[in-house]
Amino acid sequence: MVETRGLVGAIEAADAMLKAAPVKLVGYELATGAYVCVKVVGTTAACYAAVEAGAAAAARVGELISTHVIPRPAEDTATHLIPPVKRGPERKVDLEGLTVKELRELARKLPGIGLSGREISNATREKLIEEIKKALGE
Protein backbone atom coordinates (compact mmCIF):
# COMPACT_ATOMS: atom_id res chain seq x y z
CA MET A 1 0.00 0.00 0.00
CA VAL A 2 1.15 3.50 -0.79
CA GLU A 3 -0.69 6.44 0.75
CA THR A 4 -0.36 9.91 -0.73
CA ARG A 5 -1.93 13.28 -0.30
CA GLY A 6 -3.44 14.12 -3.67
CA LEU A 7 -4.49 12.12 -6.68
CA VAL A 8 -1.50 12.96 -8.91
CA GLY A 9 0.95 11.35 -6.51
CA ALA A 10 -1.28 8.28 -6.23
CA ILE A 11 -1.51 7.88 -10.00
CA GLU A 12 2.24 8.28 -10.33
CA ALA A 13 2.79 5.73 -7.56
CA ALA A 14 0.42 3.22 -9.18
CA ASP A 15 2.13 3.61 -12.53
CA ALA A 16 5.59 3.14 -11.02
CA MET A 17 4.49 0.11 -8.99
CA LEU A 18 3.02 -1.65 -11.99
CA LYS A 19 6.13 -0.96 -14.07
CA ALA A 20 8.61 -1.94 -11.36
CA ALA A 21 7.37 -5.39 -10.40
CA PRO A 22 4.89 -8.11 -11.39
CA VAL A 23 2.03 -6.93 -9.16
CA LYS A 24 -1.65 -6.34 -9.81
CA LEU A 25 -3.43 -3.11 -8.95
CA VAL A 26 -6.47 -4.05 -6.87
CA GLY A 27 -7.76 -0.55 -6.31
CA TYR A 28 -7.45 2.67 -4.45
CA GLU A 29 -9.31 4.36 -1.63
CA LEU A 30 -10.09 8.02 -1.31
CA ALA A 31 -10.17 9.39 2.23
CA THR A 32 -10.88 12.79 3.71
CA GLY A 33 -8.18 15.40 3.39
CA ALA A 34 -7.30 14.30 -0.15
CA TYR A 35 -5.59 11.15 1.08
CA VAL A 36 -5.42 8.33 -1.46
CA CYS A 37 -4.29 4.78 -0.68
CA VAL A 38 -3.18 2.66 -3.65
CA LYS A 39 -3.24 -1.13 -3.14
CA VAL A 40 -1.42 -3.86 -5.07
CA VAL A 41 -1.07 -7.61 -4.64
CA GLY A 42 1.65 -10.04 -5.64
CA THR A 43 4.48 -11.99 -4.11
CA THR A 44 6.05 -10.47 -1.02
CA ALA A 45 9.27 -9.57 -2.85
CA ALA A 46 7.36 -8.05 -5.77
CA CYS A 47 5.20 -6.00 -3.42
CA TYR A 48 8.23 -4.66 -1.54
CA ALA A 49 9.90 -3.65 -4.82
CA ALA A 50 6.69 -2.12 -6.16
CA VAL A 51 5.97 -0.15 -2.99
CA GLU A 52 9.53 1.17 -2.90
CA ALA A 53 9.27 2.35 -6.52
CA GLY A 54 5.79 3.77 -5.94
CA ALA A 55 6.91 5.68 -2.87
CA ALA A 56 9.83 7.24 -4.72
CA ALA A 57 7.61 8.24 -7.63
CA ALA A 58 4.91 9.70 -5.38
CA ALA A 59 7.46 11.70 -3.40
CA ARG A 60 8.83 13.22 -6.63
CA VAL A 61 5.49 14.66 -7.76
CA GLY A 62 3.45 15.00 -4.59
CA GLU A 63 3.28 14.29 -0.90
CA LEU A 64 4.00 10.74 0.27
CA ILE A 65 2.22 9.95 3.54
CA SER A 66 3.12 6.32 4.24
CA THR A 67 3.87 2.91 2.78
CA HIS A 68 3.25 -0.59 4.07
CA VAL A 69 3.51 -4.18 2.88
CA ILE A 70 1.58 -6.97 4.60
CA PRO A 71 3.35 -10.23 3.80
CA ARG A 72 0.92 -13.16 3.52
CA PRO A 73 -2.08 -11.34 5.04
CA ALA A 74 -4.56 -13.38 7.06
CA GLU A 75 -7.53 -14.56 5.04
CA ASP A 76 -9.94 -12.23 6.86
CA THR A 77 -7.63 -9.27 6.30
CA ALA A 78 -7.32 -10.01 2.60
CA THR A 79 -11.09 -10.46 2.29
CA HIS A 80 -11.71 -6.96 3.65
CA LEU A 81 -8.87 -5.14 1.91
CA ILE A 82 -9.01 -6.75 -1.53
CA PRO A 83 -12.27 -6.40 -3.46
CA PRO A 84 -13.77 -9.64 -4.81
CA VAL A 85 -13.31 -10.40 -8.50
CA LYS A 86 -16.53 -9.95 -10.43
CA ARG A 87 -17.31 -12.79 -12.77
CA GLY A 88 -19.71 -12.74 -15.68
CA PRO A 89 -22.01 -9.96 -16.73
CA GLU A 90 -23.25 -7.66 -14.00
CA ARG A 91 -26.64 -7.41 -15.65
CA LYS A 92 -28.64 -9.53 -18.03
CA VAL A 93 -28.62 -8.40 -21.63
CA ASP A 94 -32.05 -7.96 -23.16
CA LEU A 95 -31.51 -9.90 -26.38
CA GLU A 96 -34.90 -8.86 -27.74
CA GLY A 97 -33.83 -5.21 -27.52
CA LEU A 98 -30.66 -5.68 -29.59
CA THR A 99 -30.51 -5.08 -33.32
CA VAL A 100 -29.64 -7.96 -35.66
CA LYS A 101 -26.23 -6.37 -36.20
CA GLU A 102 -25.60 -6.27 -32.43
CA LEU A 103 -26.81 -9.88 -32.09
CA ARG A 104 -24.37 -10.96 -34.80
CA GLU A 105 -21.49 -9.14 -33.08
CA LEU A 106 -22.38 -10.79 -29.78
CA ALA A 107 -22.65 -14.23 -31.42
CA ARG A 108 -19.18 -13.86 -32.96
CA LYS A 109 -17.67 -13.04 -29.55
CA LEU A 110 -19.34 -15.88 -27.64
CA PRO A 111 -17.37 -19.08 -27.19
CA GLY A 112 -19.38 -22.23 -27.83
CA ILE A 113 -21.84 -20.68 -30.26
CA GLY A 114 -23.29 -23.37 -32.52
CA LEU A 115 -22.93 -21.38 -35.74
CA SER A 116 -20.07 -20.76 -38.15
CA GLY A 117 -19.18 -17.24 -39.24
CA ARG A 118 -21.17 -17.54 -42.46
CA GLU A 119 -24.14 -19.03 -40.61
CA ILE A 120 -24.08 -16.10 -38.20
CA SER A 121 -24.10 -13.69 -41.15
CA ASN A 122 -27.14 -15.42 -42.69
CA ALA A 123 -29.05 -16.24 -39.50
CA THR A 124 -32.40 -14.68 -38.69
CA ARG A 125 -32.97 -12.67 -35.54
CA GLU A 126 -34.82 -15.59 -33.93
CA LYS A 127 -32.06 -18.08 -34.78
CA LEU A 128 -29.39 -15.74 -33.37
CA ILE A 129 -31.30 -15.27 -30.10
CA GLU A 130 -31.85 -19.04 -29.83
CA GLU A 131 -28.16 -19.85 -30.36
CA ILE A 132 -26.96 -17.09 -28.02
CA LYS A 133 -29.25 -18.38 -25.27
CA LYS A 134 -27.91 -21.91 -25.81
CA ALA A 135 -24.32 -20.66 -25.60
CA LEU A 136 -25.11 -18.77 -22.38
CA GLY A 137 -26.84 -21.80 -20.89
CA GLU A 138 -30.26 -20.19 -20.64
Q: Is the dihedral of CA 97, 99, 105, 108 positive or negative?
A: positive
pLDDT at 86 > cutoff 70? no
In the chain the domains, ranked by start, together with CATH numbers, are 2-81 (3.30.70.1710), 95-136 (no CATH)
Q: Model's pTM, two decimal places?
A: 0.59
pLDDT at 118 > cutoff 60? yes
Residues 64/9, Cβ–Cβ less than 8 Å? yes
Instruction: Work out the average pLDDT over 40-53.
Output: 94
Residue 35 has a CB neighbour count (10 Å cut-off) of 16
pLDDT > 70 in the chain, percent: 92
